[in-house]
Amino acid sequence: MTLSLKDPTLFHQQACIDGAWIDADSRQVITVTNPATSGMIGTVPDMGVEETRRAITAAEALQTGMVGVNTGLISVPGAIMLKALS
């Protein structure tokens, strides 16, 4: 299936852990399908325990450097995420 995104670089079939787009350690993937058409959209890595631990460790480290979004100030990674979502 071809997705029609304004910015196709936003479509990733990897997981972002600690600022890097990575595959699962096992290289296994899960197929993502469109429920309306049953067509394949893409894949996501089938992450396991070790990848989950690395993601949690990275998220905890990032939280220590963040300022609350409600104050109008956010971290640099948070600003990047907000830009990607807008």
pLDDT tens, residue by residue, 12-66: 999 999 889 999 999 999 999 999 999 999 999 999 999 999 999 888 887 776 5
DSSP H or E segment with residue 51: helix 49-63
CA dihedral (18, 24, 30, 32) positive or negative: positive
Q: The pTM is what?
A: 0.63
Cα distance between the two ends of the chain:
24
